[in-house]
Structure 1
């Protein structure tokens, strides 16, 4: 019986660096079994382009789970509609990209795997193919019938979660409600306890407006929504504080007393996190019944097939996925 976490890895957009960084795994001593899901022919061609010496073995449902082996990767083949070229998007291949996620979800639901790690996809080409798509987070939330999920990025000791994700800035304020913010904080608190083994996590909450609203002179969301939610949770014993002005929230004095920061929108928190740990950070979806992690970067079409792609974030995403699986198992015992 395999006791180590069984990790699925979707290759992502085939014309981007997803295949490159996935193939790089063959040169690392992986601590647990990893199964790639993508086009086997595309991966073999990319390995030749990059001059990589490795063996790609086809895997089918029902086969024994792959075990780590030097210079060997196992692949569940999901064929593309058209041959892929590094750096050149093709709308015809967009359905196959999503099919890798669907295949992964099938294996997870069947209990054949323990966690999903995703290489980056290209949202634009999927939408150009006529498929509404805002991102992995939302797609997997819908697949799991969990409309309330939370995006968390973590790297070099900093964890940043988002109250809203892929929204135009003009729609952010209306999307922040007492009910939604409370659900987000509860999901974050639970994940810090169960997925990261932090018994009494400390969460800092950012304000929405400059200077956290300046006492109502620069906006009322802090007074009307954010502060009341924090008060409710603190009354239950949760270690939540704020709303803090976002321009001073990410300072060492405050962060040394925090396990995570909740920011109100995508570009309020992620620029800081990526400046701090880009290339080593991990994207984690909280609130799902499955474990899902991803890289902290995009498809990097200009780098695909050149040998310049760096796979540090993917390696870290695999490590974090395995860690969360182990922590959840410990909670369940």
Structure 2
């Protein structure tokens, strides 16, 4: 038998299948002998070799059939990249498309007129809760004592009769602003008419001009002279002033538009006071051109307070993620300090607690109170209002069992998103509360007047003259204002019925 010398290179040999293994080079270094290890010694130098699935049809693993093909195991491909956009991502994509869309000579492009008909109906609280859960943002954290309204059985919106639908009044506001545009866009959703009867207090002539300008002509409006002539199947319009010789001037401040806005507001408030409306939604007004002998107020809130004989109320900005009330409201900054008193803060907290209970269904609300001074006074170094006024009041309320906390520095409070731990926040003055609110929830924010015997809401934006008549206005805030009015009206009715039953 021939023996191979130690320095002789390996000879190529053929295996049983006829395939030749790779030849070893002549100058290759000799391979070291395999390392011997005991049975309990770990194999530290084991190479990471990808797993190969050597099975195929008709063969088991370990079969030595030479004709069996080898198949490498491939990981499952991540399908997340191929998923369609949903939820807030899709809403943001659609909004970006609207923002980037250029006006086309005042005409609304057909593809841009397609609305999302998948918006859930808010005829019952189950649908409302499902819509809240679909949001990516964290909802308002309720207290353990909050009422669970999601399990209550209510009538589906499709089966609502005429007597079940709430009548919601909508005042036109300044018709040269974006009020008519956002109203028309919001009421295009057919599902809204299934859960309420909208009544626009304005002008059929003005609204038709905007319908032609924005190409919103594929649905009908019902003209009525009085609230008794409305249709519960259509969107109704009550003309509130002689409009034969008036025309729209989008983006312009005119005295005629201010007078018309006041006429619409007065007519709507009269029907609200007489119980013919279940709630009122007010479109934006210009606080300058509406001023007259009949209207000498800084805004809707103060006017409504006088009309209903209410001494105090609360400007309550609400959304699905944040609720903020303010102590001083529409007060010049130079007079804020003199209006921040113990009595005023206590009254605003009382109005906020009562509203959270009867209007939003929270039995034991948890409220955060902001400080007045920078860094909440720094223990008196930057102001004494926190030490002398706010803290003693909160201590007194806590001893009575109320869940009130603070005072918190406003910058750190919103910067760390601490507002998510509370049902509502009380700010000391207007900009301290409204700047963070609009930064967080501008598109869907709603201005709600708490402490009034009637329900009134409004979108959280103004007249926006710079984009009026250009088909650029986003109707989301107006739509949310209508939905909030419906929800609050129903919650308040239920609360009063439960309270009346408990007293019997």
- Residues 57, 253 of structure 1: alpha-carbon distance in 2 compared, 3 angstrom cutoff: closer
Alpha-carbon distance in 2 for matches of 1:276, 1:221: 28
**Relative contact order (C-alpha < 8 Å, sep 6+): which is higher?**
1
Q: Does the aligned pair in 2 maintain the 1:44–1:56 contact within 8 Å?
A: no
Correspondence for 2:223 among 58, 61, 82? 58
Alpha-carbon distance in 2 for matches of 1:253, 1:294: 25
- Secondary structure of the equivalent of 2:174? coil
- Residues 189, 95 of structure 1: alpha-carbon distance in 2 compared, 3 angstrom cutoff: same
* 1:1-333 matches, cutoff 5 A: 2-29=163-190, 30=192, 31-53=195-217, 54-69=219-234, 73-79=235-241, 82-127=246-291, 131-252=295-416, 254-333=418-497
- Secondary structure of the equivalent of 1:34? strand
Structure number having the greater strand percentage: 1
Alpha-carbon distance in 2 for matches of 1:236, 1:251: 30
Structure 2 residue ranges without an equivalent (≥5):
1-161, 498-504
Q: How much has 1:251 moved relative to structure 2?
A: 4.5
- Secondary structure of the equivalent of 2:163? coil
TM value normalised by structure 1: 0.94
TM value normalised by structure 2: 0.63
Cα deviation digits, residues 272-312 of structure 1 (max 9, x gap): 11111111111100000000110011101111111111100
Q: How much has 1:128 moved relative to structure 2?
A: 8.1
Structure 1 residue ranges without an equivalent (≥5):
none
- Count of equivalent residues: 330
Q: Kindly name which structure, 1 or 2, has the bigger radius of gyration based on alpha carbons.
A: 2
- Secondary structure of the equivalent of 1:63? helix
Q: Does the aligned pair in 1 maintain the 2:210–2:469 contact within 8 Å?
A: yes
RMSD across aligned positions (CA): 1.8
Larger mean Cα displacement after TM superposition, 203-212 or 39-48: 39-48
Alpha-carbon distance in 1 for matches of 2:330, 2:345: 16
Cα deviation digits, residues 17-61 of structure 1 (max 9, x gap): 001111113421213111000122111111111111132221232
